[in-house]
Amino acid sequence: MVMEKPKPDMPQKTGAAPDRGAWIVEMELIRDRRDKEAFGRLFAHFAPRVKGFLMKSGTEAGVAEDCAQDVMVTVWRKAHLFDARRASVATWIFTIARNRRIDIARRERRPEPEDLGWGPEPDASQEDSIALQQDTDQLGEALRTLPEKQRALIERAYFGDLSHREIADLTGLPLGTIKSRIRLALEKLRHAMDQST
């Protein structure tokens, strides 16, 4: 399923990450009312960040673009699984992206014929729902174990609106320091998540 990229109508960058509560409201509108405008705003914010996350994880740009769209379609289809008490919107979306990246890596190692998608996609099985929730919980816990300086940078780089250069300008830290701290934090997160699988 190919979705048109909605036009963003959220406030422009102000140097700080968007309010997490605002994303929860948007996600609840999608979950409870199937609100397409709320999904458009969520898509406009998170799809490019998911693509960037996948590319930084070694995924080729075209594949990352397709995968990011697929992740956002999954967000729409599985919105009923979102629980703000268990994870932030960003953590939930990036958990889906991480799982999709793992699926891509497995397919590249062991090619499988594509399934033909006829008719509506069935509802998520209880097993899939539990697995997604467990992964979300594990990513949230892994983020909480990071030192505050690293966690803040990860949140700004992946969940917020800021590039590495913008983070450097905002914090006054050298660009090289920003990049090395983010790289170290990603390695710690990857290690924590790999241990849990």
> Residue by residue, what is the 3-state secondary structure of 51-75?
HHHHHHCCCCHHHHHHHHHHHHHHH
User: What is the arithmetic mean of pLDDT over 45-56?
Assistant: 87
Q: How many Å apart are CA 83 and CA 61, to the nearest integer?
A: 31
pLDDT tops 90 at residue 32 = yes
Q: Which amino acid is at 105?
A: A
The pLDDT value recorded for residue 128 is 67
Give 3-state DSSP helix, strand, coil % of the chain, rounded to 5.
70, 0, 30
Structure tokens belonging to residue 49: 């960040």
Number of domains in the chain: 1
pLDDT tops 80 at residue 99 = yes
Tell me whether residue 69 is in a domain: yes
Helices and strands, counts by H and E, the chain: 8, 0
| Full domain range(s) for residue 143 | 20-110+126-148
Tell me whether residue 34 is in a domain: yes
CATH number at residue 79: 1.10.1740.10
Tell me whether residue 172 is in a domain: no
Question: How far is residue 43 from each of residues 38, 50, 150, 161, 183, measured CA to CA in Å?
Answer: 9, 10, 26, 13, 26
3-state secondary structure of 196: helix
Tell me whether residue 62 is in a domain: yes
The pLDDT value recorded for residue 116 is 36
Tell me whether residue 169 is in a domain: no
- pLDDT digits 0-9 by tens, 70-87: 999 999 999 998 888 888
